[in-house]
């Protein structure tokens, strides 16, 4: 009947005898914690889905030949200030296109421990022409197998087979929207016009959908060898190197290490797409703000209920003190109650949070390659929610319990 220590036993009786109040307090915590779990799971699900989408066309690190420095004022470099010069219509010598020593750079990249995949590319701006229709876009010459490792192109194919591209120097794979705009079907011919005025016709062997409309509308893939032939470039020529690493969040260290050694622009995805990172950080802030607000409201609920209970029990507290219970015993009795409320509410809240997440995760959402609303199930979110819940209930219970501990039995008993 009474196996608990006496202070805990009193806390237990108070909790059970005011079951309705206890349940309301527990529900407050439950709601706060389940919202915390759900909001954070959902937001990180959204972030993950967005990253997955972004990395379907974006590599973690991108190496390319940046434009040369500003050369519009060369005179001041060669002559002392104040020199009067008359230069009209200056022309600059063509700088080297693309990346030199590609084999060495790729070999060096392969030695980096975190690098998981490397894809060399030749990217050029072209016109896609089908009879009268003309669309401006990017032609990407790719190492078919390497590209697939980075971006999983096989999964993006709507028609045709990605691997076919390696065997077909005359084959081209076009974005689904681009194909539509040019009224192209598989096995139709597509004419390419380069900026140098070279024109060549390829056969459409497949279409792809990346779910990024800017890409689907204006991109086509050719094998890298065929692209070099189109440009009359040597068999070492590339314009871009795309690199993926183990953890896409940890690009900084790699960039810092390899940038001084590679004489080209080394750019992480965060540098190139600050809006992606900003978006995901903002979503995290919203999730935490909303759920903490709910927890604080729950905390006020507990604070109120505990205060009410202490007012109701004020005579009993005075009697306990008369019988020899010290202030710290009384504090422990009421603190135990709020901690129990926090623990019970926390456990139920985690379960409810998981349940809500799972239900929402099954809501159909057919946008940008998703089938249902995205969701993550990260133990860290659950642990954090539980800890925040416990801290809130502890604080909410501590203040009233301190008040109870300070009750002067004489004034209460004498009335």
Partner 1 sequence: MKQAQTTNSAPPPILRAGSLVKYFYEPEKFQVLRNISFEVRKGEFLALVGKSGSGKSTLLYVLSTMDTDYEGQLEIDGIKLTGRSQNELAAFRNDHIGFVFQFHYLLPEFSVLENVMLPALKRKKLSRAEIQEKAYQHLTMLGLKDQALKRSDKLSGGQQQRVAIARALINDPAIIMGDEPTGNLDSKNSRVVFDIFRDLAAAGDQTIIAVTHDEDFAANCDRVLELSDGLLLK
Asked if 38 touches partner 1 (CB under 8 A), the answer is no
In contact, 240 and 61? CB cutoff 8 Å:
no
Is there binding between residue 13 and partner 1 (CB under 8 A)? yes
Alpha helices, DSSP H only, in 18-139? 19-54, 75-78, 102-110
Which one of residues 322, 355, 371, 383 is an interface residue with partner 1 (CB under 8 A)? 322
Q: Is 413 in the site for partner 1 (CB under 8 A)?
A: yes
- Please name which of 251, 294, 247 lies closest in space to residue 40, comparing C-alpha atoms: 294
In the complex with partner 1, which residue's Cβ is closer, 7 or 130?
A: 7
Provide the minimum distance between the beta carbon of 324 and partner 1 in the complex, in angstroms, as a whole number: 2
| Contact of 181 with 217, CB cutoff 8 Å | yes
Enter the tokens of residue 379: 């133990």
> For partner 1, which residue of 326, 355, 359, 391 counts as binding (CB under 8 A)?
326
Of residues 71, 252, 315, 380, which one binds partner 1 by CB under 8 A?
Answer: 315
Q: For the CB of residue 27, give the shortest distance to partner 1 in the complex, in Å.
A: 22
Pick the closest to residue 43 from 280, 350, 277 (CA basis): 280
Contact pattern for partner 1 over residues 205 through 244, marking x by CB under 8 A: ----------------------------------------
Least separation in angstroms between residue 18's CB and partner 1 is 9
Q: How far is the CB of 325 from partner 1 (least distance, A)?
A: 6
Least distance from C-beta 2 to partner 1, angstroms?
A: 6
**Residue 35 neighbours by CB under 8 Å, 6+ apart:** 290, 291, 294, 353
CA–CA distance from 96 to each of 99, 232, 235, 387 (Å)?
A: 8, 15, 16, 58
Helix%, strand%, coil% for the chain, nearest 5: 55, 20, 30
Q: Does 17 bind partner 1 (CB under 8 A)?
A: yes
If one counts every other C-beta atom within 10 angstroms of the C-beta of residue 219, the result is: 22
Binding marks (x or -) toward partner 1, 329..358, rule CB under 8 A?
x-----------------------------
Examine residue 403 and tell whether it contacts partner 1 (CB under 8 A). Answer: no
What's the closest the beta carbon of residue 368 comes to partner 1, in angstroms? 59
User: Which helix (H) or strand (E) is 139 found in, with range?
Assistant: strand 133-142
DSSP-assigned letter for residue 235: T
By CB under 8 A, is residue 328 in contact with partner 1?
yes
Q: Which of 6, 75, 253, 274 binds partner 1 (CB under 8 A)?
A: 6
Tell whether the torsion through CA atoms of 66, 255, 269 and 150 is positive or negative.
Answer: positive
Residues 6+ apart with CB under 8 A from 235: 225, 228
Please select the residue that binds partner 1; options are 196, 237, 316, 354, rule is CB under 8 A: 316
- Beta carbon of residue 414, minimum distance to partner 1 (angstroms, whole number): 7
Q: Which stretch binds partner 1 (CB under 8 A): 98-106, 224-232, 315-323, 389-397?
A: 315-323
**Residue partners of 216: CB distance under 8 A and separation at least 6:** 175, 176, 177, 178, 208, 209, 210
Q: For the CB of residue 289, give the shortest distance to partner 1 in the complex, in Å.
A: 41
Minimum CB–partner distance for residue 23 and partner 1 (Å): 17
Residues in the site for partner 1, rule: CB under 8 A?
1-2, 5-6, 9-10, 13-14, 17, 315-316, 318-329, 409-410, 413-414
């Amino acid at each position: 009947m009474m196996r608990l220590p006496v202070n805990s036993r009193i806390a237990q009786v108070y909790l059970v005898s005011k079951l309705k109040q206890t349940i309301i307090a527990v529900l407050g915590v439950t709601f706060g914690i389940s919202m915390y779990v759900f909001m954070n799971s959902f937001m990180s699900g959204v972030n993950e889905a967005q990253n997955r989408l972004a990395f379907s066309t974006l590599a973690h690190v991108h190496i390319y030949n940046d434009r040369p420095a500003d050369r519009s004022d060369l005179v001041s470099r060669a002559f002392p200030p104040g020199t009067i010069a008359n230069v009209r219509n200056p022309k600059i010598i063509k700088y080297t296109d693309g990346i030199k020593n590609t084999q060495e750079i790729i070999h060096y990249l392969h030695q980096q421990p975190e690098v998981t995949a490397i894809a060399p590319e030749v990217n050029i701006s072209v016109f896609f022409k089908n009879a009268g229709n003309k669309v401006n876009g990017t032609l990407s010459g790719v190492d078919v197998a390497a590209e697939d490792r980075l971006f999983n192109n096989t999964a993006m194919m709507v028609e045709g087979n990605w691997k076919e591209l390696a065997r077909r120097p005359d084959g081209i794979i076009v974005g689904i929207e681009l194909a539509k705009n040019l009224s192209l079907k598989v096995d139709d011919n597509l004419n390419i016009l380069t900026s140098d005025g070279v024109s060549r016709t390829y056969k459409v062997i497949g279409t792809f959908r990346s779910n990024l409309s800017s890409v689907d509308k204006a991109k086509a893939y050719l094998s890298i060898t065929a692209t070099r032939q189109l440009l009359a470039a040597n068999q070492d020529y590339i314009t871009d190197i795309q690199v993926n690493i183990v953890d896409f969040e940890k690009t900084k260290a790699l960039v810092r290490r390899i940038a001084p050694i590679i004489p080209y622009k080394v750019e992480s995805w965060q540098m190139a797409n600050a809006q992606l990172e900003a978006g995901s950080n903002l979503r995290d802030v919203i999730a935490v703000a909303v759920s903490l607000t709910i927890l604080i409201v729950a905390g006020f609920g507990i604070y109120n209920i505990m205060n009410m209970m202490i007012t109701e029990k004020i005579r009993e507290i005075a009697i306990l003190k008369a019988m020899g219970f010290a202030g710290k015993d009384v504090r422990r009795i009421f603190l135990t109650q709020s901690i129990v409320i926090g623990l019970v509410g926390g456990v139920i809240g985690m379960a409810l949070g998981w349940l809500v997440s799972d239900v929402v995760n099954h809501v159909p959402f057919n946008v940008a390659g998703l089938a249902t609303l995205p969701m993550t199930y990260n133990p860290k979110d659950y642990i954090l929610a539980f800890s925040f819940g416990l801290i809130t209930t502890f604080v909410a219970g501590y203040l009233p319990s301190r008040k109870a501990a300070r009750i002067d039995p004489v004034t209460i008993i004498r009335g």
